[in-house]
Chains A and B, each alone.
Chain A
Amino acid sequence: GEDVEQSLFLSVREGDSSVINCTYTDSSSTYLYWYKQEPGAGLQLLTYIFSNMDMKQDQRLTVLLNKKDKHLSLRIADTQTGDSAIYFCAERANGNNRLAFGKGNQVVVIP
């Protein structure tokens, strides 16, 4: 079954890079996602990666996937105060159209 683990809290200075990590258990996962949730808001898709890729870059965001270790990371370059939020990784297993989410990682950006 699907089980996604995330660390809980990260504080980073504005302008620095931040890295959020996630591990998942289902080796059949085909897509892995990063969602952002600001206070009182729903989940906003940031980016996703197909399981046959190692890396995906999208402007300030870099996703790294280590399929052997079932490890996913999100790097945010030049972190801004607007990046303060909770970040969730999620996996979608093969043949399955639902997402299983981790507990989230709160990022606080210090000006």
Chain B
Amino acid sequence: EAGVAQSPRYKIIEKRQSVAFWCNPISGHATLYWYQQILGQGPKLLIQFQNNGVVDDSQLPKDRFSAERLKGVDSTLKIQPAKLEDSAVYLCASRGSGANVLTFGAGSRLTVL
């Protein structure tokens, strides 16, 4: 099966600009996650979707971050306006119903200058 697809792989922007990341999960996976991984740290959950509904967005900085999964398949994570501390790798993962494991994409590396 195809893995979790993410794009772009790399993005460099200046602070106060906006950026969007896209994720296409494994076909049929109902649950989709966005994680933020700052250099030297473990991934931190930003938001979790079940189909097109949000299950958990408690750690999403909602003043600047937004995410959607309108049709319950692919998802977009947006940052507007970006800050220096948003420099990180943004990882998307998906999980099939009843499965115990998350499958991760390769990530989108953001550098904010």
Contacts and interface: CB of A to CB of B under 8 A. Distances in A.
B46 to A, nearest CB: 10
Interface residues of B, number: 23
B31 A97 contact: yes
Nearest to B45: A98
A77 B100 CA distance: 25
B42 interface: yes
Interface size class of A (residues with CB under 8 A): 20 to 34
Given A42-B107, A97-B31, A103 B101 contact: no
A49 B3 CA distance: 23
Contacts, number: 48
Contacts of A45: 101-103
Those 6 A-B pairs whose CB atoms lie nearest each other, nearest first: A101-B42, A42-B104, A43-B104, A42-B106, A103-B42, A101-B43
A101 B44 contact: yes
Interface of A: 4, 6, 31, 33, 35, 40-45, 48, 88, 90, 92, 97-104
B43 to A, nearest CB: 5
B43 A88 contact: yes
15 contacts: A35-B104, A42-B4, A42-B104, A42-B106, A42-B107, A43-B43, A43-B104, A45-B101, A45-B102, A45-B103, A88-B42, A97-B31, A99-B45, A101-B42, A101-B44
